[in-house]
A = this chain, B = another copy of it.
Amino acid sequence: MADIKKVGWIGTGVMGSSMAGHLADKGFQMQVYTRTKAKAQALLDKGATWAESPAKAAEGADIVFAIVGFPKDVEEVFLGGNGVLAGLGKGGICCDMTTSSPALAARIAEEAQRKGCVSLDAPVTGGDVGARNATLSIFVGGDAAAFEKAKPCFEAMGKKLMHCGAPGTGQKAKLANQVAVAGVMFSVCESLLFAQEAGLDVAQWLELVAAGAAGSAAMNGLGRRMLIRDFKPGFFIDHFVKDLGLCLEECRRMGIVLPATTLAESFYRMLQLRNRGSDGTQAVIEVLAELSNKKWKEHK
C-alpha cells in the first residue's frame, strides 16, 4: 500500500487533541471534525482544515481516526448518514481509537469491507499524560496490512503497539486492561480505608507498602491523590462505567464470570447515582467508606 499522507481526525477531547497534534506535528495533512469547533482550534492553527462532518473529514483521506465518547457516538461517526464510511474513498482505512464495543468494531469492519475500505480498532492506554507525551500503548485489531500502513501514525502517538488479531481484538485487549485497572484501584481503596480505620499514619504506610508486593501504578498514582482528597478527573467515572459495562457484556458473551470486576462496576455506578460521574475514578474510596458509615479523611 502507498504511504499515508492525508488523515481525517474526529474528536478533540483531552486525548484526541493531543494525539492529533502529534500527527499534525509529523507533517500529515489533516481534515478535522469535532462536535464543538472551538476545540479544534489548536489543530486548525497547526494547519489542519475544518470539515463540517465525519464524511467530509473522510473525503480524500488515506485514513480516518476517531476518538469520541461512547459506542453510540462511534456508531454515528462511522456508520451514520454523514459518517466516515459515507465519505471515505475505496482503499481508505477507518480507525476507531475510542474504547468501545468489540462487536461494534467487528460490525464497522464488515461495513467498511462492503464499501471497499478496511477498518482497524485501536484503543489506547496511558491517559492524558500518555497522549500528551506520545507514550500511549495502542492495542490494534483488524487487517494486518492496514496495521502496517497505519504504523507511522500510531508511532507518532504511542510507544508500544500490539497487533492483536481480527477486528474487535484491539477492543478486547483494552477491556482486559480495564479489568485489571478496576480491581487494582479497588484494592488500593480497601487497603487505605483499612489503614485509616486502624489509626495508622496512612501517608507513611503508603510509602512503605507501595514499594513492595502490594505496590501498583494505581497505588503510586491515584492512591497518592486519594491521600490528599484530590478527586479531579484523570479519568472520568462516567467513562469508566462505560468501559466496565463493555467488559461485563464481553464476559457474558465469552461465558466467563469475573466477580471482582462485577463488584467494581457496581461501586462506580453508585458514584454515578450520587452525581459524581465527572469525578476521577479515585473517588470510589468515598463510596467505599460510606458503605461502612465512615468518612474518608485527608492524610498528609
Tell me the minimal C-beta distance from A214 to chain B in angstroms: 4
A198-229 Cβ-contact flags toward B at 8 Å (1 or 0): 11110011001101111111110100000000
Query: Contacts A125-B209, A193-B256, A257-B291; is A219 near B165 (CB within 8 Å)?
Result: no
A187 to chain B: which residues have CB within 8 Å? 179-184, 186-187, 260
**Copies of the protein in its oligomer:** 2
A116-129 Cβ-contact flags toward B at 8 Å (1 or 0): 00000000011100
A173 with B190: CB separation less than 8 A? no
Q: Which of B169, B179, B198, B217 contacts A190 (CB 8 A)?
A: B179
Tell me the minimal C-beta distance from A243 to chain B in angstroms: 12
B260 with A177: CB separation less than 8 A? no
Tell me the minimal C-beta distance from A198 to chain B in angstroms: 4
Q: Which of B177, B184, B194, B261 contacts A175 (CB 8 A)?
A: B194
Query: Contacts A198-B250, A255-B292, A260-B186; is A160 near B191 (CB within 8 Å)?
Result: no
A250 to chain B: which residues have CB within 8 Å? 194, 198
In the complex, A269 has a CB within 8 A of chain B: no
List residues 136-174 of chain A with CB under 8 A from any CB of chain B.
Answer: 137, 139, 160, 162, 164-165, 169, 172-173
List residues 231-261 of chain A with CB under 8 A from any CB of chain B.
Answer: 247, 250-251, 254-261
A261 to B260, CA, bound (A): 10
In the complex, A188 has a CB within 8 A of chain B: yes
B213 with A221: CB separation less than 8 A? yes
Size band of the interface chain A makes with B: 35 or more
Tell me the minimal C-beta distance from A153 to chain B in angstroms: 18
B211 with A292: CB separation less than 8 A? no
Query: Contacts A200-B172, A204-B162; is A181 near B213 (CB within 8 Å)?
Result: yes
A183 with B260: CB separation less than 8 A? yes
In the complex, A37 has a CB within 8 A of chain B: no
Query: Contacts A137-B208, A160-B211; is A180 near B191 (CB within 8 Å)?
Result: yes
A126 with B190: CB separation less than 8 A? no
Chain A to chain B contacts (Cβ below 8 Å), 24 pairs: A125-B212, A164-B205, A165-B199, A173-B198, A176-B194, A177-B191, A177-B213, A180-B191, A183-B190, A184-B216, A186-B187, A186-B260, A187-B187, A190-B258, A194-B250, A197-B255, A198-B250, A213-B221, A214-B217, A214-B218, A216-B216, A216-B217, A216-B218, A257-B292
